[in-house]
Amino acid sequence: TQLLEQSPQFLSIQEGENLTVYCNSSSVFSSLQWYRQEPGEGPVLLVTVVTGGEVKKLKRLTFQFGDARKDSSLHITAAQPGDTGLYLCAGAKADSNYQLIWGAGTKLIIKP
């Protein structure tokens, strides 16, 4: 059962455009993580958000955790070809610290 829905599944845009990726659930999470995965490599952690309403910035990437801790978004400003990759969100439930709930991912392509 897919408990974390990511959208869109695929996004191809031009360099310089802005974009937002969404991660939604009906479950409450104690924390939520975002990863980027490049072809042939393992996912790399970008950020962990733990407080409802929290906003974290990583250069041109802005991450937000929903007030109710059920959803999250990733916004990229002025996308660059180096942002290309598979973006994954994963939520930790309070009653199961060791089993993250994973989204299926958003495949992002930034064209020069």
| Residue appearing with tokens 């709930």 | 101
The yes or no reply on residue 42 touching other proteins (CB under 8 A) is: yes
Q: Which is nearer to other proteins, 85 or 103 (CB)?
A: 103
Q: How far is the CB of 81 from other proteins (least distance, A)?
A: 22
Q: Rounded distance, CA 61 to CA 80, Å? A: 11
Q: Are 36 and 43 in contact (CB under 8 A)?
A: yes
Among 40, 59, 95, 112, binds other proteins (CB under 8 A): 40
| Torsion angle defined by CA atoms of residues 41, 75, 46 and 31, in that order, rounded to the nearest 10 degrees | -120
Q: How far is the CB of 17 from other proteins (least distance, A)?
A: 26
Among 66, 105, 108, 110, binds other proteins (CB under 8 A): 105
Among 21, 23, 31, 65, binds other proteins (CB under 8 A): 31
Q: Which among 109, 99, 105 has a CA at the least distance from the CA of 22? A: 105
The yes or no reply on residue 50 touching other proteins (CB under 8 A) is: yes
